[in-house]
Amino acid sequence: MLTRRTLLKTTAAGAALGALASSQTAGGAPAAPALQRVEPPNWWVGMAEPRLQLMLHGPGLATLEARLKAPGVRLLGQQRLASPNYLFIELELAADCRPGHIEIQLHRPGSAAPLLSLPYELLARAPGSAQRQGFDTKDAIYLVVPDRFARAEPAVAPPAMRETRVDRSDPGARHGGNLAGLRARLDYIAAMGFTQIWPTPLVENDGPSYSYHGYAATDFYRIDPRFGSNEEFRALAAEARQRGLGLIQDIVLNHIGDHHWWMADLPAPDWLNQWPSYTETHHARVTWQDPHAAPSDRRRFSDGWFTPGMPDLNQRQPQLATYLIQMSLWWIEYAGLSGVRTDTYSYSDRDFLARWSARLMREYPRLNIVGEEWSGHPAIVAYWQRGKRNHDGYVSSTPSMMDFPLHYALLAGLKDADQGEGGIYKLYETLAHDFVYADANRLVVFEGNHDTPRLFSLLGEDMDLLRMAWSYLCVVNRIPQFFYGSEVLLTSPQQRDDGRVRADFPGGFAGDTVDGFSGRGLSPRQGEAKDLLRRLLNWRKGAKAVHNGHLIHYAPLHGIYVLFRRLPGERPVMLVINKNRRSMSLDLQRFADTLNEARLGRDVLSGHVHPLHASLELPSRSTMVLELSP
């Protein structure tokens, strides 16, 4: 964690002194220039944007100048910032530039002979890379916290890092899950019916504590060695694709960890959002949209630090902005990703987000990006979605957002009493706000995530309500996301408790007496829940009316909520939720305009076929997902 004294060291004077010290030998003489890092570590020919920025870091590099002679590559310029240990090189790759190594020479000014030479690799893109299909409405996402999901023994000894202790009894410690464990469970994930995997961040988080969660990066271009290697991450993506699974990477643009390697030598004082003393964001997300917001409130929201241990990045700094854009593109191309999830989306600089999202979509027009805007207000979430005509002219290129409003409405709709505009009416009313979105179908709705209490616990461990929730998520016009362990009824406190929410998946670790993967040792309720979700998701894979159909819903009456999905040429789907603690007879005449010629409804949960005549008999607290036929 950063103390106030540490913070003061990262002010303009502190950064300059730190950089000077790092470029000198112990005796005070300037260190001989040396190249320690090049980022991005390689690039690809044939990208839509021909320009490429290289960040070179090492003692005294700013005293050198770059020279280049390579077919199809032009040196446009080089920039030096406050630290004497960085050199930023801007290249332009011609349309006919060929893959291979180019040599960048670093000279002392006026010297003919190079002092250092950098062989830099330009690769060919994988076939079809630019037109890769991102995740969309046909998909169902499985969110995992890799440290808590599964472990397979690595081939190498654990690396020497600040936190290596593994203690599964401590909710805040590392528990030892890794990429090898996740790769070994790909068949399970695919068999459950999921089509996309979203792991929480896997890049290096070399902090002294709480490093398992991944949201405090210390190296943007390195998979944390306790999880595995860059090559293992790429292998995970490739093996997932073989099983029909896409891989979504969780990328943090807003902040880094306070042990990021930059913190010992900031490229420039304005690399971070600096304050005279520690200033935390006030989390007032509405300030971007509020026409009455005080400028100081907007600044504190976007420039305030998330926590003392998460320095806030200043995306208005031009070299940093380009760095973050290229870093995101590098992982997409390197690993063959199907999408990006962006943490703390709106906390970053607003204009940078517009530029970042536009560049990603220019390179990959069919990619999907989902941003986290943790707000229960549809208008706030809608502001950030591609295609939204905003009151202030702001233009985003991000296709999707996390649907927190519908998540909250789902909880309220199922937990609260059905009185007035409460209970299930809240779910109906929130969905009715889809008119504020440019494309509500592209939103990601979720039953829970790594920051929210477990759904089963919030619903009072009520299987009937859980069935309603999961059925709704699989039928509504959204991209559904489920949290690992929900299928085996993992629980948590009803108040936020991150360590316990992110509990170990049973069977993912040696010695576990219960194995949720195979089903060994599961209780009857756990087995029932797992089977329920598997049937729903595997049915959903082929339910084209659910993927792309028009949604029609009816205002809830007497604790019953009914909605339809219709697509020409496909079987319509009818969802019926009866929250009443008694059986009900549903008069079908009300739905005649949507039922049309349908006379039978096969319940995908039970397999039972219901005649759709005058009425439909509903057991107490029941859910039906009906495929309709004449």
* pLDDT tens digits along 608-620: 999 999 999 999 9
- Phi, psi angles (nearest 5°) of residue 621: 45, 55
Collapsing DSSP to helix, strand or coil, 123 comes out as: strand
Q: Which residue has the tokens 């380009």?
A: 322
Question: CA-to-CA distance for 627 and 389, rounded, in angstroms?
Answer: 36
Pairs from 491-494 (Cβ < 8 Å, separation ≥ 24): 491/454, 491/456, 491/457, 491/461, 492/453, 492/454, 492/457, 493/453, 493/457, 494/453, 494/457, 494/458
CATH 3.20.20.80 intervals, the chain:
131-541
Residues 6+ apart with CB under 8 A from 419: none
Question: CA-to-CA distance for 384 and 390, rounded, in angstroms?
Answer: 9
- Please report the pLDDT score of residue 606 as a whole number: 93
404, amino acid identity: F
Question: Which CATH number is 32-125's, of 3.90.105.10, 2.60.40.10, 3.40.50.300, 1.10.240.10?
Answer: 2.60.40.10
- Predicted structure pTM score: 0.94
For 546-629, CATH number?
2.60.40.1180
CATH 2.60.40.1180 intervals, the chain:
546-629
Collapsing DSSP to helix, strand or coil, 183 comes out as: helix
34, amino acid identity: A
- Please report the pLDDT score of residue 30 as a whole number: 65
- Please report the pLDDT score of residue 337 as a whole number: 98
Q: Which residue has the tokens 């107490």?
A: 620
Collapsing DSSP to helix, strand or coil, 346 comes out as: helix
Question: CA-to-CA distance for 135 and 366, rounded, in angstroms?
Answer: 9
- Please report the pLDDT score of residue 153 as a whole number: 85
CATH 2.60.40.10 intervals, the chain:
32-125
Q: Which residues of the chain have pLDDT under 70?
A: 1-30, 155-157
Question: CA-to-CA distance for 47 and 569, rounded, in angstroms?
Answer: 39
Beta strands in 29-166 (DSSP E): 37-39, 43-44, 51-57, 65-68, 73-79, 86-93, 100-107, 116-123, 141-144
**Fold exhibited by the domain 131-541:** TIM Barrel (3.20.20)
Question: CA-to-CA distance for 238 and 333, rounded, in angstroms?
Answer: 12
For β-strands 246-252 and 196-199, DSSP reports them as parallel
Q: Which residues are catalytic?
A: 343, 372
Nearest residue to 119 via CA among 132, 134, 137, 106: 106
- Phi, psi angles (nearest 5°) of residue 101: -90, 140
Query: CA-CA distances (angstroms) from residue 480 to 140, 162, 448, 457, 460?
Result: 5, 37, 10, 19, 22
Nearest residue to 150 via CA among 183, 198, 193: 183
470, amino acid identity: W
265, amino acid identity: D
